[in-house]
A and B are shown apart, each in its own frame.
Chain A
Amino acid sequence: AQSVTQLGSHVSVSEGALVLLRCNYSSSVPPYLFWYVQYPNQGLQLLLKYTSAATLVKGINGFEAEFKKSETSFHLTKPSAHMSDAAEYFCAVSDLKDKIIFGKGTRLHILP
């Protein structure tokens, strides 16, 4: 069965520092992977997705993620954190029955 594991339910970084949010997946078939973001009091919105084209995927707001098959990882990065990046981030994988399986989420805190 498909699944994702997000390492760290809370991550704190200083403003201007590198953001790294970790996601590992398990899939019996080539995976399709997503990162979604949820700002306070809002629904989720797509940051980026991997659909078997380029392994380095660029998304909105300066975020990117790299698909690494050998490590079964799809970590999310941003070179320089901004206060507006404070939110909850969800990694997700499509399963064989065309549903999306979400991770438990990582809440990103930005320290001034």
Chain B
Amino acid sequence: DVKVTQSSRYLVKRTGEKVFLECVQDMDHENMFWYRQDPGLGLRLIYFSYDVKMKEKGDIPEGYSVSREKKERFSLILESASTNQTSMYLCASSFGLAVRTDTQYFGPGTRLTVL
């Protein structure tokens, strides 16, 4: 079974803090993704990565950055957290052979609250 793990289930931070969300997958997948999930808005793509050290902006990259130094690990960084970044953050990975039809495998999510 593919396993995608996220470093924290719940996180509380203060406005202006730098926040790191970590994601690790154990199936040697090429692609990794970060989404945020908000009620009534579904999932929105923040950033994704097709390979180590590669990254591409998704639909809502503002206020976020990412890092992928190793194939299995994809980090989401909030340089200066703000209250409007309070949300559920979901990491996903996929094999990468045929991206348009690949199944994405999701982690359990990190619920971030910024006070």
Contact = CB atoms under 8 A, between A and B. Distances in A.
Contacts of B109: 42-43
Given A44-B90, A99-B58, A104 B41 contact: yes
Interface residue tally of chain B, by bracket? 20 to 34
B87 interface: no
Given A43-B4, A43-B108, A103-B42, A98 B100 contact: yes
B41 A44 contact: no
B43 interface: yes
A100 B104 contact: yes
Nearest to B96: A98
Interface residue tally of chain A, by bracket? 20 to 34
B16 to A, nearest CB: 29
30 contacts: A9-B40, A32-B100, A34-B103, A36-B104, A42-B108, A42-B109, A43-B4, A43-B90, A43-B92, A43-B106, A43-B107, A44-B43, A44-B92, A44-B104, A44-B106, A49-B101, A51-B101, A94-B99, A94-B100, A98-B99, A98-B100, A99-B48, A100-B45, A100-B104, A102-B35, A102-B42, A102-B43, A102-B44, A103-B42, A104-B41
Please give me the 8 A-B residue pairs with the lowest Cβ-Cβ distance, nearest first: A43-B106, A98-B99, A104-B42, A94-B100, A102-B43, A44-B106, A51-B101, A102-B42
Interface of A: 9, 32, 34, 36, 41-46, 49, 51, 90, 94, 98-100, 102-105
